[in-house]
Structure 1
Amino acid sequence: MRQGTLDKRRFGHRARLALSPAEVSKADGQAHAARTLWNLLHAWWRMMPKEKRTLANADAAIRQAREDIDFLAVLPAQAAQAVLKTYFRAWKNCWEHRADAPNFKGRFRTVMSVDIPQGRDLNIVRVHRRWGLVNLPKVGRVRFRWTKDLPVGRRAGVENRITGARLVKDALGWHIAFRVQRLEVKPEPHQGPDVGIDVGVTVPIALSDGQTYEHGEWLTAKEKAKLLHLEQRAAQRKQYRKPGERTSHRLHRTYDQIAELRAKAKRRALDWQHRTTTAIARTYGTVVVEALTITNMVKSARGTVEEPGKNVAQKSGLTRSISGEAWGRTVTLLTYKTAQLGGTLVKVPAPGTSRRCSACGLTVPGSRESQAVFVCKNPDCGWSGNADHNAARNVLHLYRTGLALVPAAGRAVVRRAKRVKPAAAR
């Protein structure tokens, strides 16, 4: 893996494709063929006895299906083999208790995608500063948006290369996700200061040094009004649809317009998260975050018929806000960006960080007077300040006292770690 001070780094890069209507039709046909092939493979798996569920038998069944069904011939052979490998990997993840068992893929509920496992089939060429050309099997030579330097050409070397790609379609059109491998110099340890981070809804990211990162609405007022109008139109058209009746083309078109606006908001949110996490990773050497169980925080409060929940509407609004902030994605971005720049990311226990005073260390009921203000009710303290900054300071304090969450046997345990003082502080 390592050659001196060099490390192999694998990452992905997603770019927008500029396809003509004919090329869009070809890409759609390949995606539908890949989904159909998955469903046929799953039906074959359920039909065959256990002793015959082997990779060789599945490969023979796929080859026979591609000969018998003309519709599957639009899918390249390498992409068909990628479907087979992905299906067997899904069962392996299920057996190792990392995911649920694979199931049939629906036409409208499945992300349309096609895998290109061989990087040499792409033949990428940069046209000019903004656009590049890539070869898509059975689609042709198409343009894509060049927003990042890719290792192409003779100057890239043997170790720096593109190992494959995947075509993905969302509400904004077709994109290509490159799998890139680079040989980079191992980063030196980051000499920046330590910082604690508290994530929230009102203030998305608050740092222990008093800095905050906030954002506005992801959609403009005009776009929000249009989204509301489309949702009302969809609800009205759905009201007149009889049970069991197929969805009309007009309703499908309305759903597509709604998905396009929501995808635009998601793209803007992801761009803000990338910019924010990059700035944090470049500034600080050690980033400390809370180990939040987000899946439990966004569970519905509806309850059951025997024991109905309380404040269901308020809880659903909070759940939407938490899901919209995507705290887990923020931690994921910080994890690999800090490692790439020589820093580290540490998780500490979350309970009590927002209710504990960062000055005296005591938890007194009623100290958090509102969502934004924290006033310590300890008579000997009386510290007051921003509630989010107070929680971020508590998060950093837990790390400095040696508390860290270390994964062990599928669960997180608290471990006290010895911190080595910097050379300047010795």
Structure 2
Amino acid sequence: MGMKAHRSYVRRLSLSPEQTAELDQQGHAARALWNLLHEWWTWGGCTRRPTMRQTDEAIRQARKDIPWLADLPAQAAQQVLKTYLRAWKNFFDGHARPPEFKGRVRSRMSVDNPQASKLRIRRLNRRWGELTVIKVGRVRFRWSGSLPGVGREPGRITGARLVKDTLGWHVAFRTEQDRPDPEPRPGPAVGIDRGIHVPLALSDGNDQHHGPWLRAKEAERLLRLERKAARQWRARMRGQPASNRLRRTYDQIAKLRARAKRRRYDWQHKTTTTIAAKYGLVVAENLRLTSMTRSAKGTVDYPGKNVRRKSGLNRALLGEAHGRTIELLEYKLAERGGQMLPVPAAGTSQKCSACGHRDPVSRAGIKFSCTSCGWVGHADTNAALNILAAGLAVNGRGVDTVGRRREASTTRRSAYHPGKPARPRAAGEATPALAREGSEA
């Protein structure tokens, strides 16, 4: 038995001005087709829904009647319909919001080339490759890594999607690879606490850090451009749209932010690959990031407190993109036979990992000093140890050095009665933290 791994590989395109103009035209046509579908699909409310056959016939007739809509290839037009129907299915299943109209400025242009046989991918040299785009011709792209199904690489390419962002056009190759089912890997277990001062604090002390996503000169230029955009926005006539100069400033800001996003994504991929290759069980908090980054502005009747401070905290949390880190780590662990285990986040930063006593006063910033046993350490490391203990209790792997199961009643008692001290330890008895370190060593 085996499994089919579906992955996407993104490469940057190198286009001539004529090819860029042609792809831009196709992207605008795909966006307009989406809006036409949405208007026709939602016209008349929920009582009227056209069938798949009626919608397909309407698209074929529209490509004959509207010249600029015919610039979009037929396969790409059919893919717009499939994507639109899939968006409705995701909404009905409760996974996403309902489809909306796509704006010309804020939406990201994309064109599908679903037929892999027409791509004709070929490697030119060490740095460049080439593929065929319908109605555009042969296009070069950066060969920044191997592709399944090209050359001697196992697997196959099932299609491609052309996407444009602030840095230009890119191609995302959809691939499929046959892989054997991974065997369960009994590797070491680790708890991960996600934060701001320490992006990923691991229970064994192997914390993962990163520097600022933008260099000093880039951050200075970004601040200067944001202030310039604010001045240009205030100088415009009230009720008038943004000027061309303001749009150009917005484009420069978007390029710097896209550069920071790429560096963050690169760090996340490298870090999660290292963690997935080293550990067999990773325990992480089940954080509600949407609620954590909600604005504290409040209402007119009930205004919020410390709004600017909370907005800065929200920006810092969103800048770390902790949700994507867990998504990457989850599928990489599954490929290697590991396991990702989420645990509730309540109380992990207020409980002492040594004695189990829970007291909000024990934590002061990044320092944790237990008011019961006097244990002192980094607050994020203490939280990671508590997360690991909660995961081992759920997973049934919590065995200390003397072979006894960890007492779950002590944890429950300290959680529900934070004023009561935990079970006193006998003379010479190791703390749970030391026992874990000894078992992992």
- The TM-score with structure 1 as length reference comes to 0.90
Quote the offset at 1:152 in angstroms: 3.1
Query: What is the SS of the residue equivalent to 1:402?
Result: helix
Amino acid at match of 2:282: V
Quote the offset at 1:342 in angstroms: 1.3
The answer to whether 1:395 aligns with 2:387 is: yes
Task: For 1:9-408, list aligned pairs within 5 A.
Answer: 9-47=5-43, 50-51=47-48, 53-153=50-150, 155=152, 160-368=155-363, 370-378=364-372, 381-402=373-394
Amino acid at match of 1:393: L
Quote the offset at 1:155 in angstroms: 4.5
Query: What is the SS of the residue equivalent to 1:245?
Result: coil
Distance 1:223 1:278 in 2: 28
Amino acid at match of 1:201: I
Distance 2:85 2:54 in 1: 12
Distance 2:48 2:145 in 1: 48
Q: Which of the two has greater strand per residue? A: 1
Quote the offset at 1:70 in angstroms: 0.8
Q: 1:21-74 CA deviation, whole Å, 9 max, x = no partner?
A: 111111111110000001111121233674551111111111111111111111
Query: What is the SS of the residue equivalent to 2:13?
Result: strand
Unaligned runs of 5+ in 1: 405-415, 417-423
Residues 154/237 of structure 1: CA separation in 2 closer, same or farther (3 Å cut): closer
Distance 2:49 2:58 in 1: 12
Quote the offset at 1:403 in angstroms: 6.4
- State whether residues 277 and 330 of structure 1, in contact with CA within 8 Å, keep that contact through their aligned partners in structure 2: yes
Quote the offset at 1:115 in angstroms: 1.3
- Please give the root-mean-square deviation of Cα atoms over the aligned residues, in Å: 1.9
- Runs of 4+ in structure 1 displaced over 6 angstroms? none
- State whether residues 297 and 304 of structure 2, in contact with CA within 8 Å, keep that contact through their aligned partners in structure 1: yes
Quote the offset at 1:120 in angstroms: 1.3
Q: 1:156-179 CA deviation, whole Å, 9 max, x = no partner?
A: 56xx21111111111111111111
Amino acid at match of 1:20: S
Distance 1:392 1:154 in 2: 44
Quote the offset at 1:118 in angstroms: 1.4
- State whether residues 14 and 178 of structure 1, in contact with CA within 8 Å, keep that contact through their aligned partners in structure 2: yes
The residue that corresponds to 2:400 in the other structure is: none
Distance 2:148 2:195 in 1: 39
Residues 29/401 of structure 1: CA separation in 2 closer, same or farther (3 Å cut): same
Distance 2:242 2:66 in 1: 28
- State whether residues 131 and 145 of structure 1, in contact with CA within 8 Å, keep that contact through their aligned partners in structure 2: yes
Distance 2:18 2:208 in 1: 44
Which one of the candidate residues 1, 4, 7 is aligned to 1:8?
Answer: 4
Amino acid at match of 1:336: Y
Distance 1:331 1:270 in 2: 12
Residues 184/52 of structure 1: CA separation in 2 closer, same or farther (3 Å cut): closer
Distance 1:392 1:120 in 2: 49
* Percent of matched pairs sharing the same residue: 55
- The TM-score with structure 2 as length reference comes to 0.87
Q: 1:112-149 CA deviation, whole Å, 9 max, x = no partner?
A: 11111111121111112221111111111111112222
Distance 1:58 1:349 in 2: 46
Amino acid at match of 2:329: L
Unaligned runs of 5+ in 2: 397-407, 409-438
Distance 2:384 2:153 in 1: 43
Distance 1:228 1:301 in 2: 24
Distance 2:72 2:215 in 1: 40
Distance 1:365 1:43 in 2: 53
Q: 1:51-107 CA deviation, whole Å, 9 max, x = no partner?
A: 551111111111111111111111110000011111112222222332222121111
Query: What is the SS of the residue equivalent to 2:247?
Result: helix
Residues 244/60 of structure 1: CA separation in 2 closer, same or farther (3 Å cut): farther
- State whether residues 348 and 403 of structure 1, in contact with CA within 8 Å, keep that contact through their aligned partners in structure 2: no
Residues 194/52 of structure 1: CA separation in 2 closer, same or farther (3 Å cut): closer
Distance 1:339 1:395 in 2: 20
Distance 1:330 1:271 in 2: 11
- State whether residues 124 and 152 of structure 1, in contact with CA within 8 Å, keep that contact through their aligned partners in structure 2: no
Distance 2:387 2:80 in 1: 44
The residue that corresponds to 1:411 in the other structure is: none
Amino acid at match of 2:370: C
Amino acid at match of 1:402: V
